[in-house]
Every structure is written in C-alpha cells, then in structure tokens.
Structure 1
Amino acid sequence: MRSLFHTAVAAATPARLFAGRLPEPPSGRVLVAGAGKAAAAMAAAVEDHWPGPLDRLSGLVVTRYGHGVPTRRIDVVEAAHPVPDAAGRAAAGRIHELAGSLQRDDLLICLISGGGSALLAAPAAGVTLEDKQAVNRALLRSGAPIDRINCVRKHLSAIKGGRLAEAAHPARVVTYLISDVPGDDPSVIASGPTVPDPTTFAEALHALEEYGIEPPASVGKYLFAGSEGRIAETPKPGDPAFADDELVMLATARDALAATAALARRAGITPLVLGDAIEGEARDVGTAHARLALALARSDRPSALAMLRAGLVSFAAPAGDLDPLTQTVPKAPCIVLSGGETTVTVRGDGRGGRNTEYALSLALSLGARPGISAIAADTDGIDGSEDNAGAVVTPDTLARAAAAGLDATALLADNDAYAFFDDLDDLVVTGPTRTNVNDFRAVLIQPATPSGIAASCGTLSSGPGARSGRCRTTPRQEAP
C-alpha cells in the first residue's frame, strides 16, 4: 500500500513537471512569485529548466514552514499554514508590491499550489490579521468545503481572487498550478490570485451564515459593505487584467490516480477508480467505502454496482474517464482508488486530520472482515495540522486496538483518530513531500485464501525507506 502512495506523490513532483513548459524570456523583466506547499520546489524546478540566462530571474515564493528548498535566484519565505501568520502577511505584501512594479514588456511567472490561500495573507483594508486568523480557524472547524472557505478568503484579501493579476497588469502573467482541490478549478486553488473570481461578497457572507460563523466586527462590516457595492468586487471573467494571461495545469489528483491505477494493474490487481473529486464528511465517506469494499469482498457485484450508480460511494460526480460506471465492477484481488478532499466537522477535543478520521471510520465499518487493507493520506505529507500524512488499516486493526484497550468508537466521536493509529503504530509519517494533489485513498480487497492475500499484499505494501512499525515510512524524495 505504501508503494501506491509513493507513486501518487511522485506523479506530482515539481522537478518532473517543468521541462519544455516554460515561456521564452521576454524583452523586459522576469518576476517569479507564488505560494503553496509546493512553491519552493516549483521555484527550484523553474530555475533548473529556465530557457534563458538564469540571472534574468528574480522573485519570491512563500511556502509552509519546513517545506523550503535551496534556490539560486528566487527567494523562499516560510510561513504558517493553515492559519496565516505575520510572515505570510509580509511575504504577500512584498509579492503584491513587486507585481505592481511590472510593465507591459515584463513577465510574471506565478507558481500556485495547495496551501497558498493561508500563505498569501494580505488582509483587505480595515481587516486585521488577527481577524483573518479567527475567521480561518472557524471555517476550518466548520466542515465547510474548500470552495466555500476560499470564497470567504478571497473577499477578505488584497491579493487573492485575481487581485495579484490585477496588480501585475499590463504585464503578461503565466500561472503554473498543482491542484489540490476537487474539480481543479483554478479560481479555487490557493484562492486564485491570478485568475478571474466568479464568486461575490454576498456569497462570502452567505457562507459564514450557512456554517454558523459569527465573524469579528471588522470582517462582517467589510463583507457587508462589499455586498452593497461600496467596496469594489474581485475582478471577474472578461476583466482586461486577464487578457494576455495563460494558465498551465501541471499536476492533479487525476494524474496521481492514473499512475497508481497503472501500478496496480502491473501487480495483477484490478483498479476501480471512484473519482478524483470526492467530498463529504470524512467519516461518512469512510463508511460508504467500507460498504463497497465488503460488497466486492463477498463478490456481490450487483450491490456494488447499485452503490456506484446511486452515488453512495462517490459523494461527487467522478471526472471524465475516471467514471466508475464505465468500468467493470471487479473481482478480488482489486483495489478501490479515490482522491478529492473530505471534511471534518470538529465535535470533540481529539487530534487527527480528515485522512485519519476516514481511516478510523472505515476500520469500524469493516469490522473484523479479513482480506481488506487500506491507506488514506494527504499527498503533501501533512494531514490537517498534525505531523502525519494519514494512516493505514489492516485486517486486524480492530483486534489489535481491543488488545491495546483502545475504544475506537469513542475515539472517533472525539475526533481523536490520531491517538488511535499512533498507539497502533499505524500512522503514515513522511514529512513534507513538497507537492500537493490532495488526498489519496486506496482500499485493497484480497482473495480469501492466505496465499492470495500474501501475494497481493507483498506486491503493493513493500517499498524502500520503510521504518520499523507497520506504516511509518519515508517515501522516495526527489532532490530539490
């Protein structure tokens, strides 16, 4: 299972993505700017593949603490995520100022990846950083999907929602994106600093109301003024600021799933790809995926197909050629693959991100069923705000938990999946991967014979760099 996760991460490694894809140097200046968990690795890759003299490059990117890499011409600043801090605010201010100095013959290369919304922290006029932090914390605990969260973030920012491109106009802007959002909408990835924003102040206000968030007074006042037209909206499609701009999508969850599906086929295991845009409460998605796995394990293909057709296991329309309804419902050994971004509505005081919560819910729903294993991990190496990427589930997870005196149901109710898997030594710990194509989930359904289980598990669970313990592992890292 670990090798599948490594493959998903490798498919989105920035060092592999820029060859032959950078623009020709302009007659004017070249500024490189960006934000996200992959921003530093992307900047290093731009330097490695730049088609002109390296001394023409300058700029600044901001990434999460611990995600920086050495660069030669492009400055790297580390800042806080998922709640912004003063370092991110200062970096965003510098980037906005540099973009505003560009002229018509200049070029802005913008490097955008997941996490950029928090890292580009430039509060709008009249909104303090502390107020933005409070709103961010409330949104992250609310269970709101990322597009709703980023709608609010864009309308409290001086740089997101297309405002960076607006500042750089009339210079040409070429944006390179590594997507961490379901559906790969460029206006949602890092809150779209260089793309038109289709959302409005009124929608931002509605999002806060919908999720029961009472904002600080300055935030409510600012959003209300914007909804009444007293503050200029974010730039919309058709705005001249975007006339000569270009977007390049470098990597997505779809790419990661395609790579892992190919690996499974080479191992003789049939993949069933549910989709790259799955959303919903992590525990609900875990329960639904367990139901599908159990149906596949007992060769109940009609029930499995009925679940797929009813949308009971996808929680979102799968994209294009990943549509499970175009695929044959497989027999074991098979593996169910999915991507996207689930959410967690925090009810307890425990620790754990959406992938560990999904994994614990899955384990509880599987019960003691033999022959089913799973991994759920965030491709950036960080599940929420913890130090793990995710967790693994094995056929004996609940038995080992009972022997250790762990109450799985109570821990899930307290949002404490981290403690559950930490005590079992089943956390996936990688450190920063310096990329981010969202969550990766794989559920392996193996034949009921011991020999079949050993053959399938051995092919997909081994991997270089594994430490002692069941799934504490350091994946293959690309050189920066």
Structure 2
Amino acid sequence: MRLDDAKQDLKHLFMMGIAAVQGETAVAEALEAEKTAPFDAVLAIGKAACSMYLGALPFLARHHQALVITKYAHSEDPRLAGTPADILESSHPIPNDNSLSAGQKALDFVQACDSNTNLLVLVSGGASALAEVLVDGTSLDEYRNLNERLISGGADIAEINAQRKRLSRIKAGRLLSHFHGGRVLTLAISDVAGDDIGVIGSGIGACSNRDINYRGKIIASNAIARHRIVATGRERGYAIGSEAENLYGDVGAVATRLDEIWTDGQPGLYVFGGEPTIELPPNPGEGGRNQALALLLAQRIQNRPDLVILVGGTDGTDGVTASAGGLVDGQTWFRAPDPELALSTANSGRYLREAGDVLVTGPTGTNVMDLVLAVKTAG
C-alpha cells in the first residue's frame, strides 16, 4: 500500500469513528428510544453542546426554552439561528469571566423550572471549564491558577475534575439539586475513563438529590468509536492487529507502549483509545498532548516504511490549538528542523504544521477522549 493511500484510509477511519459518536446522531437515537413526552426545557453544556441540542430538537416541546453553553467557535452551525436557544460561548481548557457568567445562567435556568417542567440536560466534555459558579471565598484568578497548575503538571482528567468539584457550587450533582420540576433526563457523551456520569463535566449532569425524578444515561463513548473503526477497517480488508483502551499515563510512556505493540505485531490496523497526560515546561509552545504523542511516535518509527500513524482528539482540538493531532510516518522526523527541540519545548504542533503532518478536522460535534490509529504494512 502506498503511503498516501494509508494516510487517506486512516483519516477516513478516524472520521467514521467520530460519526459513530457524533452528538446530534447520538442524542436523536437516544431520545427516539425513550418515547416519552416532549421536554419543555433543555440545558446543553460542553464542546458538543450545539450538535447535541440539534439532535434533541424533534423531541422538544414547540415552545421550549433552551440554554446552550459551548466553547468559542463551536456554535457556527447555521441551523441554530432558527431555534429559541440562548447560546453562550466561553473558554476551554482554562475558565474565564464568560465561564462564570455561563455558570450563573445555568443555575438560574434550572432554578426557574416550575413544577410542570420536564428538563433535558445534555453534557459533553469541556463542561467543567465552560460553566462555573465558584464557592464563596474563591476568586476566578485562584481558580484559573489551579486549572493551569493541574493541566501543565500532567494531572489526568479525573484528578482535575475532583479539584474542580471541591470549589464549585454547580458540579458534583449540585446544579440539578436546584431542579423542582417534573422530571430530568441527562444524556452524556463520555470523555472519561469508566464512562462515569459523575465525572463527566465534573458531574454537572449528575444529581445529588434523591428526591428528584432523575435519570442519567451515557449515549456515546470511546469504545463505541473504536468499535466502529474496527468494523469499518475489516470491511476495507484490514486484519486487526490490536484494539484497546490503553492511552493512559504520560505521553512518553504511552508512545513506548504503543511502539512495542505494533513492532511485535502482525501487519494490519491498530486502534487505541483513552487520554494520555503531558507535563508542560514553562512557557510551552504550540500543541497539546496529541501532537506531542504524534511526534514522539514519529521519533520511534523514523525511517520505517511500514507504519503510518494517526493521533487525534475526537473533539477536533488539541490543547489550545485548532488542530486535532498529527498524521505521521517514517519520514516525519526529518521534514522540519529541530524535532527534539520541539518536543522539549512542547512545540510539537508547530513542528507538525511545518512538516505538513498536522491533523485538522474542525469541531466535530463530539468528545470521547483521544484515538490512535496505525496501519502496519508487510513491506
């Protein structure tokens, strides 16, 4: 197989995995199966909030109320213009003033639901940073500094969200404890290991009040994306070398682990999921954990003609960049100057961009952690 053909196959397989967990489709399928009365109000929070809201529209009351909170530049679908949704954009991964405004609006929205309201809550990754109401005595600067220390220090999402819960008035099920309507259903796209609704978005879609008519359901996950990729890969004639959710731990350790798997394995398609961590130096450059992992893998496969590897965030962004990750091969390490410097300064995104090996998808309407896909050929 030619190098370009393998790269195109990996892009296609990656997007097939995305399609299997896309917010609009996942919400529509879940609500079709519910077959319950229309919802009067909907609160959608996360990177996939707009896509999820669009999927819910056929199942909402005609004169419903809607509050949609998402990341900057994630609400550009023209179909939203014809809806009654109040759409707010705020910052991710580090909260800002808009995050606090959005959090207060979310709290007000839930508190305003009357006794007859049926509330639909749609949650996806990114909700923790996008909406917040801080406990008394905690300033935004203190909260931002905490997030920056945790993220740059290599903390995983479970640890970060645990700290966020401690300082929040709306996380860990507290937001929905203010609901006094008829019933509430939370549909969540999982971006955490274990698919725990109490961890996704720091538990903003969970409910800590047992007296409330509440139910929560996971509708999309990394496993679902991986399974679609594997099925599509088989349809395209690939043998499956390995499929696992094992992208946990520091990116350096993950790169070593993956390289051992496919080096010892047979030719075919390799599919991995999860969310590695990265410890950043002072004043980091361009790129996030996926672009760093892609360049680390390029270092390990330099001059090998038998491997092509895609590393991507399923939300279409990596760190604070507009790139999802990287698509590398045995020559990536040589296509731009100073790859080792790029790794040491957390500037892998710039290196991959200059090398022409960056992966760009745009916002995907979902967020189920990260994926690594590799094709190993016989020659």
Of 198, 214, 218, the match for 1:245: 214
Aligned-partner Cα distance in 1 for 2:304–2:34: 50
Q: Does 1:36 align with 2:51?
A: no
Aligned-partner Cα distance in 2 for 1:74–1:172: 20
Give 1:277 shift. Answer: 5.3
Contact 1:102 1:171 (8 Å CA) reproduced: no
Equivalence for 1:441: 372
Contact 2:127 2:204 (8 Å CA) reproduced: no
Runs of 4+ in 1 over 4 A off after TM superposition: none
Q: Residues 18-57 of structure 1: CA distance to partner in whole angstroms, max 9, x if unpaired?
A: 140456237xx7221121000011111111x21x6421x1
Equivalence for 1:156: 167
Q: Does 1:46 align with 2:53?
A: no
Q: Does 1:362 align with 2:297?
A: yes
Aligned-partner Cα distance in 2 for 1:350–1:54: 48
Give 1:252 shift. Answer: 0.6
Equivalence for 1:100: 111
TM-score, normalisation: structure 2: 0.91
Equivalence for 1:220: none
Give 1:185 shift. Answer: 1.2
- Over the matched positions of the two proteins, sequence identity in percent amounts to 30
SS in 1 for 2:175: helix
Give 1:387 shift. Answer: 1.5
Aligned-partner Cα distance in 2 for 1:273–1:408: 28
Equivalence for 1:61: 68
SS in 2 for 1:54: strand
Equivalence for 1:311: none
Aligned-partner Cα distance in 2 for 1:436–1:78: 17
Q: Residues 338-373 of structure 1: CA distance to partner in whole angstroms, max 9, x if unpaired?
A: 111111101253221111111111111223222101
Of 240, 243, 253, the match for 1:284: 253
Equivalence for 2:234: 265
Letter in 2 for 1:79: S
Higher strand share: 2
Letter in 2 for 1:407: D
Letter in 1 for 2:66: G
Q: Residues 111-170 of structure 1: CA distance to partner in whole angstroms, max 9, x if unpaired?
A: 100000001121112212222111111111010110010001111111111011111145
Of 110, 113, 120, the match for 2:121: 110
Equivalence for 1:4: 13
Aligned-partner Cα distance in 2 for 1:177–1:277: 22
Contact 1:294 1:366 (8 Å CA) reproduced: no
SS in 2 for 1:240: coil
Aligned-partner Cα distance in 1 for 2:93–2:116: 36
Contact 2:301 2:329 (8 Å CA) reproduced: no
Aligned-pair Cα RMSD in Å: 1.8
TM-score, normalisation: structure 1: 0.72
Contact 2:118 2:181 (8 Å CA) reproduced: no
Equivalence for 2:189: 178
Aligned-partner Cα distance in 1 for 2:50–2:87: 6
Q: Residues 297-329 of structure 1: CA distance to partner in whole angstroms, max 9, x if unpaired?
A: xxxxxxxxxxxxxxxxxxxxxxxxxxxxxxxxx
Contact 1:375 1:391 (8 Å CA) reproduced: yes
Equivalence for 1:386: 321
Give 1:109 shift. Answer: 0.7
Change (3 A) 1:167 1:23: farther
Of 132, 144, 147, the match for 2:158: 147
Higher alpha-carbon deviation: 32-41 or 265-274: 265-274
Contact 2:269 2:376 (8 Å CA) reproduced: yes
Equivalence for 1:203: none
Equivalence for 1:226: none
Q: Residues 261-312 of structure 1: CA distance to partner in whole angstroms, max 9, x if unpaired?
A: 011101111224442353111122112211222222xxxxxxxxxxxxxxxx
Structure 1 segment 199-348 matched on structure 2, within 5 A: 235=208, 239-241=209-211, 243-276=212-245, 278-296=247-265, 331-332=266-267, 334-347=268-281
- Stretches of structure 2 that go unaligned for 5 or more consecutive residues are 1-9
Equivalence for 2:84: 73
Of 65, 68, 83, the match for 2:94: 83
Higher alpha-carbon deviation: 165-174 or 422-431: 165-174
Change (3 A) 1:447 1:265: same
Aligned-partner Cα distance in 2 for 1:362–1:376: 9
Aligned-partner Cα distance in 2 for 1:98–1:392: 42
Contact 2:172 2:202 (8 Å CA) reproduced: yes
SS in 2 for 1:133: helix
Aligned-partner Cα distance in 1 for 2:344–2:203: 35
Equivalence for 1:425: 356
Q: Residues 178-215 of structure 1: CA distance to partner in whole angstroms, max 9, x if unpaired?
A: 1111221111111111325xxxxxxxxxxxxxxxxxxx
Q: Residues 210-245 of structure 1: CA distance to partner in whole angstroms, max 9, x if unpaired?
A: xxxxxxxxxxxxxxxxxxxxxxxxx4xxx424x521
SS in 1 for 2:206: coil
